[in-house]
Amino acid sequence: MNETIAYQGVKGAYSEQACKNAYPHMKPQACDTFQEAMWLVEQGDADIAMIPLENSTAGRVEEIYRLIPKMALHVIGEHFEPVVHCLLAIHGTNIEDLKHVASHPQALAQCHNNIIELGLKADVKLDTAGAAKELSASGDKEHSAIASKLAAKIYDLEILKEHFEDIKGNTTRFFVLSQKKYVPSFNLDKSYITSLIFQVRDIPSSLYKALGGFATNGVNLLKLESYMGTSTLEGSQFHIDIDGHIESRALRLALEELAFFAEDVRVLGTYEKHRFRKIAN
């Protein structure tokens, strides 16, 4: 029986392409929502989930940061997927005849300048491939969609313009989520990331003090995100990606100091850095 990897979207979504590239031996399972994809893994109906966290052009995926504190899953890896947006239309369409373009809000944001240049009205859809599927069924030559080459092939659409994104090198970072906790053995020859969330205590300079332990122990923070993680509005939660393995002495000491000034500290996972980070640097 094939292992299953869940993703949000319909067939042809960028997330499906990421699944195929990162885990070619696994069977992709399409889900209507991010929450459904994560729930399938929590229930054991899928082995892992591929969930987009942020994009180099459009920033973070807000919904994921709202879901992370509520999930019962572990981060076991990351994946970077280069995004090539294509402007798709019904076969035989002239680009000058287009009046509308449909896609996911992230894709529309990543192609904003090109959309404005063509004078198109942006129509928000739940996902990129879903917009392509809807366009294919409509047969309307005044409408177009922004989606992947995979979607163009699946839904028999013409690619009017490849690399429709405003900024070349557009890349999406994904979290790989699992019901089972997996921490790779600490190897000094490899590079790791430890991701965690916490809420600061209600004391003066709490965030400054909470992060101070990382500085004094020489631990590099790769990412810091804040968001309202509670329903009481009494304090912000923070998500941090740390350059290091949870078993390293420096990181253990830093986390001990963090515990004095933060509450609800939860380690999401420790995993190897994706090779894309080396290429990008």
Active site residues: 172, 174
Q: 100-103 and 143-147: which strand pairing?
A: parallel
Rounded to an integer, what distance in angstroms lies between the CA atom of residue 250 and that of residue 253?
Answer: 5
Residue 281, judged by CB atoms within 10 A of its CB (0-12, 13-18, 19+), counts as: exposed
Nearest Cα to Cα of residue 174 among 2, 10, 8: 8
Contacts of residue 133, Cβ cutoff 8 Å, sequence gap at least 6: 10, 11, 12, 151, 155
Rounded to an integer, what distance in angstroms lies between the CA atom of residue 19 and that of residue 6?
Answer: 8
Rounded to an integer, what distance in angstroms lies between the CA atom of residue 35 and that of residue 33?
Answer: 5
